[in-house]
Homo-oligomer: A and B are copies of this chain.
Amino acid sequence: MRKTLYLKFVLAYILFGIFGFIMVASVISNMDLDHEKQVQADALLTEATTIANTYAADLYNSEASIDSVYTQLGALSSYNNARILILNPSGRMVVDSAKELDPDVAVTVDGFDPADFSGSPYLEGTFYDTFDEDQICVLAPIASNYRTVGYVIMCYPMSLVVASAQQVLQISYVELLILLLLSVIILIFFTEIVYVPLRKITKATEQYAAGNMHYTFTVDSEDEMGYLAASLNYMAGEIAGKEDDQKKFIANVSHDFRSPLTS
């Protein structure tokens, strides 16, 4: 006999652990990342809308100088690691929080189309190749006299979103670890209700197989294991008894043969 039952059960555990890990590293990791993108996009959109309704509107209404807008947006963008752009509807850059633009040189974002933002609260990517690395970008229209005169674009590096998501993911891994430890409850139950009685029973069958039919044992559980142990005990007793009876019978018969019909 190979005593592999416990090994098989432990294998089930290891499989559970591996699938659990794969699940956290894929499904939960994606959920954490999506959540983080959503949170960041919401914050950016609130800020972009505020900027569109204040500084940027002032700029288009000529109530603020481009210098003061630069100062304000510079402070804002350094605070939250976001880059703030103000674009005309044509795609021409009016303000870039990352660098002062030369008013005489037209910098245009080729292919800029506000409709790209209509389906989703944010766009992922390099914002029409404006950035070197991937970003989350949101758009807020600047209204003046009921017309859209420009757009505030706020972009936040995807690498920072991923870094935030990974911090949350660490908690998910801690949860996985604690749950794997907690699932030892099942292993303890298995050991107590299955494995310990089963070891007693197999030990007894080894004794019976060796011919020791007088071996007795008890399993004190009122379930299949207890029943099985009781049955085995009974059957061993039967075999032992039959062997004894047969010996006795043979002894009697032999005796009767030796001294027959003395009655």
8 Å CB contact of A15 from B178, B185, B246 = B185
**A46-54, A110-118, A124-132, A144-152 - the one binding chain B:** A46-54
A72 to chain B, nearest CB (A): 7
**CB neighbours of A106 from chain B (8 A):** none
A181 to chain B, nearest CB (A): 9
**CB neighbours of A225 from chain B (8 A):** 5
Using known A-B contacts A174-B31, A194-B194, A223-B1, determine if residue A43 contacts B12 with beta carbons closer than 8 Å: no
**CB neighbours of A1 from chain B (8 A):** 222-224, 226-227
Using known A-B contacts A3-B223, A231-B205, determine if residue A50 contacts B78 with beta carbons closer than 8 Å: yes
8 Å CB contact of A228 from B19, B50, B178, B201 = B201
**CB neighbours of A55 from chain B (8 A):** 75
Bound form: Cα–Cα A13–B183 in Å: 8
- Assess whether A59 is interfacial by the CB under 8 Å rule: no
- Assess whether A216 is interfacial by the CB under 8 Å rule: no
Which of chain A's residues 241-263 have a Cβ closer than 8 Å to chain B? 242-243, 245-246, 249, 253
8 Å CB contact of A9 from B190, B227, B231 = B190
Using known A-B contacts A80-B43, A190-B9, A208-B235, determine if residue A182 contacts B19 with beta carbons closer than 8 Å: yes
Contact with B along A22-37 (1 / 0, CB 8 A): 0110011001100100
The 7 closest A-B pairs by CB, nearest first: A12-B189, A1-B227, A205-B231, A4-B223, A50-B79, A5-B223, A47-B79
A residues with a Cβ closer than 8 A to B are 1-5, 8-9, 11-13, 15-16, 19-20, 23-24, 27-28, 31-32, 35, 39, 43, 46-47, 50-51, 54-55, 71-72, 75-76, 78-80, 164, 167-168, 171-172, 174-176, 178-179, 182-183, 185-186, 188-190, 193-194, 198-199, 201-202, 205, 208-209, 222-228, 231-232, 234-236, 238-239, 242-243, 245-246, 249, 253
28 contacts between A and B (CB under 8 A): A2-B222, A3-B223, A4-B222, A4-B224, A5-B194, A8-B189, A8-B223, A9-B190, A12-B190, A16-B182, A23-B179, A27-B178, A28-B171, A28-B178, A35-B167, A47-B80, A50-B79, A54-B75, A171-B172, A186-B186, A190-B190, A198-B228, A202-B228, A208-B231, A235-B239, A238-B239, A239-B242, A242-B242
